[in-house]
Amino acid sequence: MPVDLFFPVWYTGGMIITVTEIFRSIQGETTTAGHPSVFVRCTGCNLDCTYCDTRYAREGGTPMEIEAVLAEIEGHAPFDHVTITGGEPLIQAGSIQLAKEILERGWRCQVETNGSILIKDLPEQARKIVDVKTPSSGEDDSFEMRNLKYMTDRDEIKFVISNAVDYEFSKDFIAKYLTKKGTVINFSPAAGAIPARELAERILDDRLPVRLNLQLHRIIFGPEQRGR
């Protein structure tokens, strides 16, 4: 895969970021679920999770100046917030600059990241949605533990759970590292794997301080359509 897919290009026109798609839809996950959001899906990823539902974003994409991305975002107004997602946005330095520019325009910004890359350079005002990869992903040794100290009460952690092994892994992680942290913890049932009701019952039985995170966009639009 070409190097310039992952790193920004500087020239007189500004910074370039490679984007798979920009669209407006209902936010499907986390505590902002249900609100209209503009999604900027960055191209490329450094992991290869078994349950990935955005494989089409791993390569290709369109190189865009950040100003052009911002103009397209503005064209989708009004919206509650902007979501920078992937792929994995943080493999492109341009995603950090994009987050800063979004906030400077007075828009709220949410960044979804797979947890393997340090988030310390993201602006504090951006809400970070940080994955902790579970065993069924095949990437459960990928989490960058230093990210925990850079997360604030406005940020969120997400575990995608496919089975009982994932559930126990996630429960143990919480007990070891998250008992004193105010960060919202999301448990997401993997599509086509553990039923949402089973996961909900486990959460209730174990009295876990977590949020059941259903993919609202899939319920509304179906698995193939990401928005209108």
CA–CA distance, 10 with 97 (Å, rounded to integer): 12
Residue 81 CB neighbours (<10 A): 17
Domain ranges of the chain: 3-221
CA–CA distance, 170 with 163 (Å, rounded to integer): 11
Residue 98 CB neighbours (<10 A): 28
pLDDT of residue 221: 80
Are the CB atoms for 38 and 79 separated by under 8 Å? yes
CA–CA distance, 13 with 219 (Å, rounded to integer): 41
CA–CA distance, 61 with 69 (Å, rounded to integer): 13
Summarised one tens digit per residue, pLDDT across range 126-146 is: 999 999 999 999 999 999 999
User: What dotted CATH number matches 3-221?
Assistant: 3.20.20.70
- Residue in 208, 165, 163, 202 with CA at minimum distance from that of residue 184: 208
User: Residue 114: which residues within 8 A CB-CB, separation 6 or more?
Assistant: 45, 46, 47, 49, 86, 88, 131, 133, 139, 142
pLDDT of residue 227: 54
Tens-of-pLDDT digits for all 228 residues of the chain? 333 344 443 333 469 999 999 999 999 999 999 999 999 999 999 999 999 989 999 999 999 999 999 999 999 999 999 999 999 999 999 999 999 999 999 999 999 999 999 999 999 999 999 999 999 999 999 999 999 999 999 999 999 999 999 999 999 999 999 988 889 999 999 988 999 999 999 999 999 999 999 988 778 887 666 554
End-to-end CA distance of the chain: 31
pLDDT of residue 215: 84
Task: Report the percent of the chain where pLDDT is more than 70.
Answer: 91
User: Residue 149: which residues within 8 A CB-CB, separation 6 or more?
Assistant: none
Summarised one tens digit per residue, pLDDT across range 57-69 is: 999 999 999 999 9
83 backbone dihedrals φ, ψ, rounded to 5°: -110, 120
User: Residue 79: which residues within 8 A CB-CB, separation 6 or more?
Assistant: 24, 35, 36, 37, 38, 107
